Amino acid sequence: MLDIKQVRLDPHAVAGALNKKYYRFDVAEFEALDALRKKADISSQNLLAERKKASKQIGELIKSGLNIDEAKAQVNESLAKIEADLEALKQQAKETNDALDNLLMAVPNLPANEVPEGKDESNNIEVLRWGQPRQFDFEIKDHVDVGGTLGGLDFDVAAKITGSRFAVMRGGLARLHRALIQLMLDTHTREHGYQEVYVPYMVNADSLRGTGQLPKFEADLFKLQGDSEYYLIPTAEVPVTNLYRDTIVDGAELDKGLRFTCHTPCFRSEAGSYGRDTRGMIRQHQFEKVELVQFVKPDESDAALDTLTGHAEAILQKLDLPYRKVILCGGDLGFSARKTYDLEVWLPGQSAYREISSCSNFGDFQARRMMARWRNPESGKPELLHTLNGSGLAVGRTLVAILENYQQADGSLTIPSVLQGYMGGIEKILPGEL
């Protein structure tokens, strides 16, 4: 959520900044609501002053000749009207503040100055490329056909069990999928200083509001039926970031580093992706991800984004998967993000780079919604944290990249050397070998 003080100071500047995200901020609506709030506050203060003055009138009325009962009755009549007016103003103020909150909850974060202009992903700017795509001397298959040849990837059975956009993995591919998770968690905990956490796969609405999924993106979520208002998590970002909701972190604790990594399944309705990536594992309703989350001081978040992105890149480099890094333009930037780098892995079956990780700096946008703070030792006062997260990596898409980049002419799949220890020394998966 944006700082309402910043919006009040210069709403037109806020609207101008949001234009980069192709979001129209209604300045007139905001100013009208804020004026109503201010008017209600001033009226309440005036009535409180009248109530205080009226309470002192009993003595004056008695001095003027009224008996005590008549004086009390006259003052009580005035007080009753003041109280009724105060109650009405209190309700008006609540409704106005609720409307202001609802308006601001739907407003995206301001993009960083260095975010490039552009309407969609075609305007993202490449920052670097790593690795050289492999040259094949046989006809390339996509991951669906490679998995089908191996016999370990089945979409038809998954559709029978549940529906479209689900997958069943067996044998060597299921083990390879698990090995990828272990590699990612081990790398981030042993080499990058992250603490592994286990979190619930269901969250309440407050947690989703805190990270920005609600209220705007409810259609993308799976809401559970029952007495409690629970949702399946779209990403581990939600429960992990909410570890510090309504919390004030000591500055010394923050100096030690608040870095968390977490493996969870993720559940998304993909409501806005009708007709896109319907083949294979690129866009599914259920998938696995290893998430990276950091909480930092405000003046450290820009550097932390580069560091976090590098941690995700390290996995791709260990797997020797060619990729590129792009900075998202304003029109492609997420709702809560102020700056995002996407990592896109090379998929020879599509002859294209496809997103495998998004790494974002949210500034204090999420922290303000969650009241996640740290105590500044210099001032002794609580201040908002800055939050960051990124995929380190999306496990299913990493498996897709291995299937396509490590396929062999005879239909087998070579296991990347860094994963062979996690696979019990297996160097290759052969067709039909379950």
Residue 62, annotated as binding a ligand: no
Q: Is 55 annotated as a binding residue?
A: no
Residue 235 marked in a binding site: yes
387 annotated to a ligand binding site:
no
SS3 354: strand
Which tokens belong to 357?
A: 């990780």
Cβ-contact 214, 264 below 8 angstroms: no
Residue 229 counted as an annotated binding residue: no
Instruction: Tell me the longest C-alpha to C-alpha distance in the chain.
Output: 111
Find out whether 237 is annotated in a ligand binding site.
yes
Is there a binding annotation on residue 291?
yes
389 is an annotated ligand-binding site residue: yes
- DSSP-derived secondary structure for 210-226: HHT-TTTTGGGS-BPPS
Q: Cα–chain-centroid distance for residue 80?
A: 49
Strands (E), 43-198: 125-130, 153-154, 168-169, 195-196
DSSP 330: G
**Residue 341 burial class via C-beta count within 10 angstroms: exposed 0-12, middle 13-18, buried 19 and up:** buried
Q: Does 412 show up as a binding residue in the annotation?
A: no
Q: Judge whether 64 is annotated as a binding position.
A: no
Measured between its terminal Cα atoms, the distance across the chain in Å is 50
Nearby residues of 280 by Cβ (< 8 Å), 6 or more positions away: 142, 143, 144, 155, 400
According to the annotation, is 358 in a ligand binding site?
Answer: yes
Rounded Cα gap, residues 261 and 307, in angstroms: 14
343 φ, ψ (degrees, to nearest 5): -105, 130
Residue 4 is labelled as binding a ligand = no
433 is in an annotated binding site: no
Give the residue numbers of the binding site for L-serine: 235-237, 268, 291, 389, 391
Residue stretches of the annotated binding site: 235-237, 268-270, 291, 355-358, 389, 391
Binding-site residue ranges for ATP: 268-270, 355-358
